[in-house]
Amino acid sequence: MTDGDGADWTDAETFAAALDRAETREKGHFFEFFAEGDEIEHDPGIRLARAGNEQWLSQTLNHDPAYWRTDVAAERGFEEPPIHPDYLLACVMGPSVEDLSEKGGYFLGRTNVRYHETVYPGTEVHVLSTVVDTRTSSSRPDYGIVTWQTEGYDADTGDVLVSYERTNMIPRREQVATDGGSTERSDTYTASDVPDLPETFVTPDGGYLEDFRAALDRAEDEDAAVAYRHERGRTMDDTLVAGLPLATLNTARQHHNRDEMADSPSGDVVAYGDVTRSIALAHARSDEATYRERRFENERFHDFVTLGDTVYGFTRVLDADRPVADAEAGAVTFQHVAFNQENTPVYSGERTALVRCRPE
């Protein structure tokens, strides 16, 4: 291909020279773009399809029959098998990435995750984020820290479906002076964070509310903790690392651009945090009689998960309602930790779910 001057733009040397002279049209925003109080309506919307929901659930081992079978969905009070909360959350996070975090930077955490409505296939979701806070990193002159409140809402009704607050490190256009403080990666453990563990761990006898309550009572008597690991693991493959995030409109290069990530600290593309999270939660849910998801707090991503890593799950039970006569379910609060094949924590979070009472 030549222009009027006879240059062959597809010749390797000519094209390399063209690349050197061309300005890159950037995607995403640097830290300086964000100001407290700004509202950002994310252009992409996403229509939640049953096929996408089922692909997410099958690939992350989420097998709760209420999300697959019409009869079980009806028994739980659903009109039809609904959209799973994990998939809903990922589909709200995904469209926000281009505007908020495509430039990269550590995902420091997410909290105040709330599910407001049951969502069914066919719902069109739009996403709105508000800048809650911006601040300077004390240790990284080339990064700032931004916190956003994000809501995914029904495009037809305006009803908020899910909301959360998340915090990221975001690259700066210009470095600033720092106070030389410690790293802002609050999602890593230090020796001082490790408490004295109890001598005994108690494992529930089953997955119903009564089992969790009985285990907590026993642990209290024995000065023990209710904590256990889950047998299943899931190895990260191309579908999990690149396919699932791209299907939620997540444009972060970390998940699909191996060229860009070759010189990064991870050395390769990394898994979308919500995929890692969903796998860990699936391992936990396989050992409990989940009825409804309620909320999540203090979610952290502690280390990279890359292609070939295997994700396992560990659960600690923090609290459980006492069974009430004629109640279908009661609230149980868990701390979940996902870890890899080297027993390194990669995700943690506190989750409150309604767990079914034992059938009579």
What pLDDT is attached to residue 172?
92
**pLDDT recorded at residue 193:** 53
Yes or no: is domain 27-180 CATH 1.10.238.10?
Answer: no
Q: Which of 249, 36, 38, 34 is nearest to 126 (CA)?
A: 249
Q: Could you tell me where the beta strands, DSSP code E, fall in 137-247? A: 143-154, 160-171, 201-202, 225-235
Q: Which two tokens stand for residue 181?
A: 């403080």
| pLDDT for the residue 10 | 84
The mean pLDDT value for 32-51 works out to: 95
- Residue 189 predicted with pLDDT over 50: no
Q: Report the helix count and the strand count for the chain, using DSSP H and E.
A: 9, 11
- Give the residue with greater pLDDT, 192 vs 134: 134
Q: Which pLDDT belongs to residue 264?
A: 82
Flag whether pLDDT at 26 surpasses 50. yes
H or E stretch covering 127:
strand 124-136
Q: Are 35 and 144 in contact (CB under 8 A)?
A: no
Q: Bridge-partner residues for 39, per DSSP?
A: 130
DSSP 283: H
pLDDT above 50 for 182: no
Which superfamily does 196-360 belong to? Hotdog Thioesterase (3.10.129.10)
Higher pLDDT, 208 or 5: 208
Strand, coil or helix: what is 54? helix
Angle at the Cα of 198 from the Cα atoms of 193 and 200, rounded to 5 degrees: 145
Q: Identify the pLDDT of residue 223.
A: 87
Look at 186-190, 198-202, 209-213, 355-359 and tell me which has the smallest mean pLDDT: 186-190
- 197 or 357, higher pLDDT: 357
Per-domain residue ranges of the chain: 27-180, 196-360
Token readout for 18 is 């063209």
User: What is the C-alpha to C-alpha distance for residues 114 and 292, in angstroms, rounded to an integer?
Assistant: 12
Supply the angle between the helices 273-285 and 85-100 in degrees, to the nearest 10: 170
Please give the average per-residue pLDDT across 24-29, as a whole number: 86
What token pair was written down for 242? 């690149």
Q: Is the pLDDT of residue 25 over 90?
A: no
Question: Which residues neighbour 337 within 8 Å (Cβ) at sequence distance 6 or greater?
Answer: 280, 313, 314, 315, 316, 345, 347, 348
Determine the pLDDT at residue 19.
Answer: 85
pTM of the model: 0.89
Measured distance CA(137)–CA(153) in Å, rounded: 32
pLDDT value at 93 more than 60: yes
pLDDT of res. 107 = 86
- Residue 296 predicted with pLDDT over 90: yes
Q: What is the pLDDT of residue 197?
A: 86
Ranking 115-124, 176-185, 312-321, 341-350 by mean pLDDT, the lowest is 176-185
How close are the terminal C-alpha atoms of the chain, in Å? 77
Higher pLDDT, 332 or 23: 332
pLDDT of amino acid 195: 63
| Mean pLDDT computed over 228-240 | 96
Number of other residues whose CB lies within 10 A of the CB of residue 355: 25
Burial, 318: exposed, middle or buried (Cβ in 10 Å; 0-12, 13-18, 19+)? Answer: middle
**CA gap 136, 337 in Å, rounded:** 29
Residue 121 has pLDDT above 70, yes or no: yes
Q: Tell me which range, 3-12, 168-177, 247-256, is most confidently predicted by mean pLDDT.
A: 247-256
Pairing of β 201-202 and β 225-235: parallel
SS3 146: strand
Decide if 271 contacts 305 (C-beta within 8 A).
yes
42 three-class SS: strand
Q: Given this chain, do its domains 27-180 and 196-360 carry the same CATH topology?
A: yes
pLDDT of residue 2: 53
**Rounded percentage of the chain residues whose pLDDT exceeds 90:** 72
Answer yes or no: are the C-beta atoms of 250 and 244 closer than 8 Å: no
Looking up tokens 């391992």, which residue turns up? 283
**In terms of pLDDT, which residue wins out, 156 or 256?**
156
Instruction: Please give the average per-residue pLDDT across 232-244, as a whole number.
Output: 96
Average pLDDT over residues 131-135: 96
* Mean pLDDT, residues 335-357: 95
Q: Which two tokens stand for residue 112?
A: 């105040």
